[in-house]
Amino acid sequence: MIETVNLTKRYGDLIALDSLNLGVEAGDCFGFIGPNGAGKTTTIKILATLLKPSSGQAMIDGLTVGYQNRQIRPIIGYVPDFMGAYQDMVVTEYLEFFAACYNIHGDKREKVVGDVLDLTDLAYKADSEVNGLSRGMQQRLSVARVLLHDPKVLLMDEPASGLDPRARVEMRELLKELRRMGKTIIISSHILSELAELCNVVGVIERGKLLFNGPVAEIIRRAKVGHVVHVAVAERVPAAADLLARVKGVAKVAVIDAEAGSAQGGAPRQIIQVSIAADAKLDLSDLPNLLMNQGFRLVKFTEEPINLETAFMRLTKGLVQ
């Protein structure tokens, strides 16, 4: 559905995109992640036909951006990180204005506007001024706007940016519903836990270069270099940490403070963080056995999970080969 081939964008000497090659299949929810200035917004604006690439190609549904923009625009919807509206325009007027731009008229326009208001849970705000809506409601209205012409592809640039926790939950549920409707979605976000829940495919970009493009499970697998376990003992923490540090295959041991209230009296309990080398031939079950055999009372022994945020940090720091 979406493909870029050596997509490059230059601003003078600055290379915003450097030979970007990515592919998104129809029905995918593609999470685009990277630090500020990595090239996410530039990519999305090119796909939205708002920027011209310096070189390379971008294609949507077989149509080439820059050459077939008139055919592309009816099948895409672009949600920027911040919406704008004319002064004193109410929600219904705002949507009817854009519906008219897509040549939706008469009874059909009234029905379409009503349908997108219901889908985005904004029907009760139909007569409210757009500028008086909360940030979360404005973002939902921006999504309602791009759904008027029922596009195949949604390009969403930081749709949860600046939203409070409740508004983020509402936006997440709306995006899940759009995915169930079969929309192909590209969404950039810094809230990586939500991307992991929403997206089946992710792309990691840094300084205009694509570091990874594939399933969420694969990026987590690639980022899992060795194991990290958290150990807590009832007493003699430094001695336990020293014992674990001498085990063959243990790369690093650090003592950190757990959250307050985890021990009696509300004092923070110290956690021994044990990093196991990737090539270590070590059975993790040997560690608690070793501690107990040396007279330590084991309180906690858990392996640290690798999530999308951890994987992103490792990839963008070049820790994954």
Query: In this structure, what CATH number is given to the domain that contains residue 142?
Result: 3.40.50.300
Domain annotation covers residue 310: no
Is residue 156, in this structure, part of any structural domain at all? yes
Report the SS3 class of residue 60: strand
pLDDT at position 71: 93
Residue 210, in any domain of the structure: yes
C-alpha 99, offset from chain centre: 30
Q: What is the pLDDT of residue 189?
A: 75
Q: Is 59 helix (H, G, I), strand (E, B) or coil?
A: strand
Domain of residue 289 covers: 225-305
Question: What single-letter DSSP state applies at residue 81?
Answer: S
Q: 55-64, 110-119, 217-226, 298-307: which has the minimum mean pLDDT? A: 217-226
Specify whether 174 is located in the same domain as 266: no
| pTM flag (> 0.85) | no
On whether residue 220 sits in a domain, the answer given is: no
Residue 313, domain member (yes or no): no
How many structural domains is the chain composed of?
A: 2
In a domain, 272, yes or no: yes
Tell me the two tokens of residue 179: 């995915």
144 and 36 within one domain: yes
Beta-ladder partners of 187: 31, 156
Last residue of a domain, one of 215, 243, 269: 215
pLDDT in tens, 286-308: 888 888 888 898 888 887 766 56
Tokens found for residue 175: 């995006």
CATH of the domain at 297: 3.30.70.100
70/10 same-domain check = yes
**pLDDT tens track for 97-143:** 999 988 998 889 999 999 999 988 889 999 999 888 888 888 889 88
- If asked whether residues 115 and 211 sit together in one domain, one would say yes
- Same domain? 230 vs 198: no
Tokens (6 digits) for 68 = 């077939």
29-33 and 184-188 beta bridge pairing: parallel
Q: Does residue 319 lie within any of the structural domains?
A: no
- Same-domain pairing of 12 and 118: yes
* Domain annotation covers residue 67: yes
Band (70; pLDDT cuts 50, 70, 90): very high
What order of strands is seen across the sheet that includes strand 298-303? Answer: 250-257, 270-276, 227-233, 298-303
